[in-house]
Amino acid sequence: MTHPPLRSYGRIKARTLKPRQAALLETLLPKLALPADGPIDLDALFSGAPGGARDVVLEIGFGGGEHLVAQASAHPGTGFIGVEPFLNGVASCLRHIEEAGVQNVRLHQGDARDLLARLPDARLNRVDILFPDPWPKQRHWKRRLIQRDVVWAFARVLKPGGEVRFATDWAHYAGWTMEMFHTEPQLRWLAERPVDWRRPWPGHAPTRYEEKRLGDIAPIFLRFERAKGA
């Protein structure tokens, strides 16, 4: 997958890490980090986790990791992979992992687009993308995470019947995402009535970004299912 370099939408300057976070980066991250390169072997990655790699969820752009760790606590038999380029976010997530005592989270500090290319075919149960950077100006749309090749990669890595969950509070990004997913025949939008996209899916807890209400619409929640028969 070729893509433009990763640009930071929010704060560029990192906050100084607290001593505990810095220590967790040294001690805990090496135990949970994905290999730096090469194809990802999910069975090896989750070999020490309670449910192994039978069910695996990828969360892209987990921010501070609150949602990722809450999901991992609620579903201890599922393996969760979180990818986030921002070091402070990774450090914050490590703190949540330690406090919750979860065994089923693995982390990658980097770009989801590179990670997707390293994942095996048809192995993920779900991909969560919650409030991705909106890049509202037209000249920046090409920086959005959701692009045709990324949507095709979702179709490749998801199991038949697997799901992408996408939320945004920016009207243009919502329409953009619908258009991009429309180009991938293997992914079907799971909505029959407006309430299906106006209300979050069961079990959703508002994320930190969602609570800031920075967008131009109320949050919308889109679910796309990978065709079951293919």
DSSP string, 86-134: -HHHHHHHHHHHHHHT-SSEEEE-S-HHHHHHHSPTT-EEEEEEES---
- Could you tell me if 130 and 201 are in contact, meaning their C-beta atoms sit under 8 angstroms apart? no
* Binding residue count for ligand SAM, defined by CB under 6 A: 22
Establish if 111 lies at the interface with ligand SAM (CB under 6 A): yes
Contact segment (CB under 6 A) with ligand SAM among 40-48, 119-127, 207-215, 218-226 equals: 207-215
Contact segment (CB under 6 A) with ligand SAM among 34-42, 43-51, 94-102, 111-119 equals: 111-119
Q: Which residue in the set 49, 53, 112, 124 belongs to the binding site for ligand SAM (CB under 6 A)?
A: 112
Closest C-alpha among 135, 126, 132 to residue 223: 126
Establish if 91 lies at the interface with ligand SAM (CB under 6 A): no
| Closest residue to ligand SAM in the complex (CB) | 61
CA 170 to chain centre: 18
Minimum Å gap between C-beta 160 and ligand SAM is 25
Of residues 20-59, those binding ligand SAM (CB under 6 A): none
Give the whole-angstrom CA distance, residue 49 versus residue 116. Answer: 21
Closest C-alpha among 155, 221, 145 to residue 188: 155
- Could you tell me if 152 and 193 are in contact, meaning their C-beta atoms sit under 8 angstroms apart? no
DSSP string, 176-215: HHHHHHHT-TTEEE--SSTHHHHSPPTT----HHHHH--S
Establish if 85 lies at the interface with ligand SAM (CB under 6 A): yes
For ligand SAM, what does the binding mask look like between residues 173 and 202, x meaning CB under 6 A?
------------------------------
**Residues known to be catalytic:** 133
- Could you tell me if 129 and 223 are in contact, meaning their C-beta atoms sit under 8 angstroms apart? no
Residue written as tokens 């994942």? 119
Establish if 208 lies at the interface with ligand SAM (CB under 6 A): yes
Q: Residue 112 or 164: which CB sits closer to ligand SAM?
A: 112
Establish if 169 lies at the interface with ligand SAM (CB under 6 A): no
The residue ranges that bind ligand SAM (CB under 6 A) are 6, 60-63, 83-86, 89, 111-113, 130-133, 145, 207-210
